[in-house]
A and B are shown apart, each in its own frame.
Chain A
Amino acid sequence: MTPARRIPWPLLVALAAMLVPAAGSRFWTFVATDVAILALFAVSLNLLLGYTGLVSFGHAAYFAIGAYTCGLLMKKAAVPFVVAWPAAGVLAALFALVFGFFCVRLTKIYFAMLTLAFAQIVWAICFKWNDVTGGEQGMPEIPYPDLGWMGALPYFGRFRTSDHFYVLVVALVAACLLVLRRIVDSPFGRILTTIRENPERAAFIGVNVRRFELAAFVIAGAFAGLSGALFGIFNRGVFPDFAYWPKSSEALIMTLLGGMGHFWGPAVGALVLLVLNQQITSYTEYWPLVLGTILIVLLFVFPGGIVGALADAAHRLRRTWR
């Protein structure tokens, strides 16, 4: 193990992220919150995409289910965040279990289509069920969790409420990513990789492929729900668009941009995509045009994404030095 590897990088990044509000810019704290939440969403998708080899085109469904669950509980039932947030993960996992049960029976393109169909069903329900979800208008004014106690802490005392929420987001996302990292490094995670590489062979050595795929689907759904719950609060409202298919493709783009061959790839993708978005939308309203162009360059020139390209470059550098 090289010395550079012994440094706990993820922990340092999380601690550094906590310093963002100290810079005093409301705007950058806003962007950083967005990045942290969507990084979790993209990494959860990559558990399916990069690790299990399942192309889900409906991951937004679980994001939205989490957001609506947490939002409804906190706004309409005044349930505290400590209960509402885990509940969002649990409900998203339950839906992922039911939908996934049918999805993992299909392969390849049909799997993608069925995940898409289920996501569109969730979207249609959120869009039309006015009494519960607020329908097309969505559900505005989700309250912030009560973080008054942070004001009593030494460093965090002088922060605004949105900064306090940001600190909470960083801590929770870091914890979730840590759990996901443990999952992909565990024997269970290795079996998922085996399934990605060769499902038939995995089946021959006695792995129940469908059951493992379903387990991965449920875990990915749960974490998507947790990130959706945070996003609803951050966004100050939950809207049917959360489940609409462009949201799913947004996560796919982040994953691909960062690199789906690496655990941190999607998180890097989320960071780069959202910061780019903020910068470019201040110059032009044609962000989709720019995004589409970036995507095409990426697909043709850097299919391994940013992390993949960097890893390749580092590898080549190390070889020339030796």
Chain B
Amino acid sequence: MPDPSFLFAQSLSGLTAAMFLFLIASGLSLIFGVLRVLNFAHGSFYMLGAYLAYQMVQWVGTGPGRFWWAVLGAAVAVAVLGGLVERLLLRNLYGKDELYQLLFTYALVLILSDAAKISWGTGQLSVSRPASLTGSVRIFDTIVPHYNLFIILLGPTIAVAFWVLLYRTRAGRLIRAAALDREMLGALGIDVSRLYTGVFVLGSFLAGLGGALITPVKTIVPGMDVEIIVEAFIVVVIGGLGSFWGTFLGAIVYGQVLSFGILVIPRFSIFSVFALMAVVLILRPWGLLGRPLK
């Protein structure tokens, strides 16, 4: 039996990873739930968020509070890009075969990854932690950086904010209605196409935010887009595509399975999460907390 403080540290690192994954996967799940598009480019938006945060830190410097402006700026820039992509291109593919939508978003992955290489090169980039969160605390003999603690608290905060938006506001009711029956919503006089753009922008914003916030704990490298999108897919599949709390649960399960899987079967920890995904798909294709598709 490994000692408890080690298990705690392991679980905490899994939790930090889970909160980032939640940020990314919730946008992916939202877009799928409403637009019925599985967005491969979601990971690319996350990557762009990271690169843009780096770029903006270069521009605004590292004074107090500057980091947060850079993060916000990066997320907003990614959201705008998402809006343009949806307005100009993606909307022409609604109602066509899913394969076309999948390949369209895959084409974006290819283009954006090269665009990032052209703009920022192929080297590793990093951003230092904001001045206000450079310290750390000791919990149960484990050193936990303030920044990680901030992320662990931010995850549930965003989850709650997101929940309030979806279940307690008019916009949220419309989003949920669009997920159930887009034609009926249109017939009731709602501008569904604007709503779609809004959802895509919101999802892209979350991806960009996740990418920007991860820069202090992870180096920015080409290929981070493909890595995260596979993880985010697993999370939403485990939790249930389009299910909000499912994504939260899926992210936590994923983080824990990965960080404890390393202890049990070190060489096959990647294997364990894919296996988990396959088992969920076989037994409950709609995910742990999702609803079956009609």
Asked whether A and B interact, the reply is yes
Cβ A121 vs Cβ B278 within 8 A? yes
Cβ A49 vs Cβ B118 within 8 A? no
Query: Among the listed B93, B113, B274, B293, which residue makes an inter-chain contact with A288, where contact means beta carbons less than 8 Å apart?
Result: B113
From B64-72, B103-111, B186-194, give the one contacting chain A: B103-111
Query: Among the listed B38, B109, B113, B282, which residue makes an inter-chain contact with A109, where contact means beta carbons less than 8 Å apart?
Result: B38
Cβ A303 vs Cβ B237 within 8 A? no
Distance of A120 Cα from B270 Cα, bound (Å)? 9
Cβ A114 vs Cβ B230 within 8 A? no
B78-95, CB under 8 A of A: which get 1 and which 0?
A: 000000000001001100
Residues A117 and B277 in contact in the complex (CB < 8 Å), given A109-B98, A256-B99: yes
Residues A289 and B111 in contact in the complex (CB < 8 Å), given A117-B274, A124-B271: yes
State which residues 105-156 of B face A: CB under 8 Å.
106-111, 113-115, 117-118
Query: Among the listed A55, A116, A246, A292, which residue makes an inter-chain contact with B99, where contact means beta carbons less than 8 Å apart?
Result: A55
From A9-17, A182-190, A294-302, give the one contacting chain B: A294-302
A92-130, CB under 8 A of B: which get 1 and which 0?
A: 000000000010011111101110111011001101100
Residues A124 and B113 in contact in the complex (CB < 8 Å), given A55-B102, A109-B38: no
Cβ B108 vs Cβ A116 within 8 A? no
A52 to chain B minimum Cβ distance, whole angstroms, is: 13
Cβ B103 vs Cβ A295 within 8 A? yes
Distance of A276 Cα from B274 Cα, bound (Å)? 34
A149 close to B (CB within 8 Å): no
B241 close to A (CB within 8 Å): yes
Cβ B270 vs Cβ A110 within 8 A? no
A286 close to B (CB within 8 Å): yes
Cβ A127 vs Cβ B270 within 8 A? yes
B6 close to A (CB within 8 Å): no
Chain A hits for B110, CB < 8 A: 288-289, 291-292, 295
Distance of A306 Cα from B278 Cα, bound (Å)? 36
Cβ B237 vs Cβ A293 within 8 A? no
Question: How many residues belonging to A are interface residues under a CB distance threshold of 8 Å?
Answer: 39
Cβ A110 vs Cβ B285 within 8 A? yes
Most buried by B among A102, A118, A288: A288
State which residues 12-58 of A face B: CB under 8 Å.
49, 55, 57
Chain B hits for A125, CB < 8 A: 268, 271
Cβ B233 vs Cβ A113 within 8 A? yes
B115 to chain A minimum Cβ distance, whole angstroms, is: 7
Residues A296 and B271 in contact in the complex (CB < 8 Å), given A109-B241, A120-B230, A286-B114: no
- The chain B residue with its CB closest to the CB of A107 is B293
A267 close to B (CB within 8 Å): no
Cβ A292 vs Cβ B100 within 8 A? no
Most buried by B among A116, A125, A292: A292
A253-281, CB under 8 A of B: which get 1 and which 0?
A: 10010000000000000000000000000
Cβ A249 vs Cβ B106 within 8 A? yes
Cβ A256 vs Cβ B103 within 8 A? yes
Chain A hits for B285, CB < 8 A: 105-106, 110, 114
B281 close to A (CB within 8 Å): yes
B87 to chain A minimum Cβ distance, whole angstroms, is: 14
Given contacts A55-B98, A108-B293, A109-B98, 20 further A-B contacts (CB under 8 A): A49-B99, A102-B282, A110-B281, A110-B285, A110-B286, A121-B274, A121-B278, A125-B271, A128-B267, A249-B103, A286-B118, A289-B111, A291-B107, A291-B110, A293-B111, A295-B103, A295-B107, A299-B93, A299-B104, A303-B96
Q: Could you pull out 19 A-B pairs where Cβ atoms are within 8 angstroms?
A: A49-B99, A102-B281, A109-B38, A110-B281, A112-B98, A117-B274, A124-B268, A127-B270, A128-B268, A245-B230, A249-B106, A286-B117, A288-B111, A292-B110, A295-B103, A295-B107, A295-B110, A299-B100, A299-B107
Binding site for A on B (CB under 8 A): 38, 89, 92-93, 96, 98-100, 102-104, 106-111, 113-115, 117-118, 226, 230, 233-234, 237, 241, 267-268, 270-271, 274-275, 277-278, 281-282, 285-286, 293
Going nearest first, the 9 A-B pairs with the smallest beta carbon separation are: A292-B110, A289-B114, A292-B111, A295-B107, A288-B110, A292-B107, A124-B271, A114-B281, A110-B285
